[in-house]
Amino acid sequence: MVETLRDLLRHEAWADAKLLQALKNCTGAWDDSTIQDKLHHSHGVQMAYLALIRDEPLDFEKLQRPFYSFGELKASVQEYHGSVFPLFESLSPDDLERTVVLNVPGHEERRNTVREALLQVAMHSHYHRAQLATRIRELGGDPPLTDFIVWVWDGRPD
């Protein structure tokens, strides 16, 4: 399972980079409210789970603040990926089974392991990248091919 999680996190970084490049190349994409909403949500979940795994308090005000520019979003995504993979590599098998608690205002408290949190982040990102790819195509852009198997076929690039 550890090797699979490692691959999923590496794939997530590669696929996010491909998606950001496609969004940059798609005229009008940044101004599209659907794209902005999905990007904000997807990346907010990444940052929330990173904080949970680090045992840091969730700053919901910061997580809900919109990104004012594409560059600001890109920098935040790069910061996330620059943090999550080294954190993952530092975790012991016992750390992966540690329970984290998600407390979202207005919702029931949720518990899961660090391993499950990392799996959720990778799968959640994949889900929203697919939605964003569809929207890019609707706007006349060229969505990237970010399938996991394409990453494998390409030699698992960083």
pLDDT of residue 21: 95
| pLDDT value, residue 52 | 92
- Whether the model pTM is above 0.85: yes
Distance CA(6)–CA(67), nearest Å, equals 28
Bigger pLDDT: 103 vs 126: 126
Residue 142: how many other CB atoms lie within 10 Å: 11
pLDDT at res. 114? 96
Whether residue 92 is predicted with pLDDT greater than 90 in this model: the reply is yes
The CA-to-CA distance between both ends of the chain, in Å, stands at: 20
Could you tell me the domains of the chain? 2-150 (1.20.120.450)
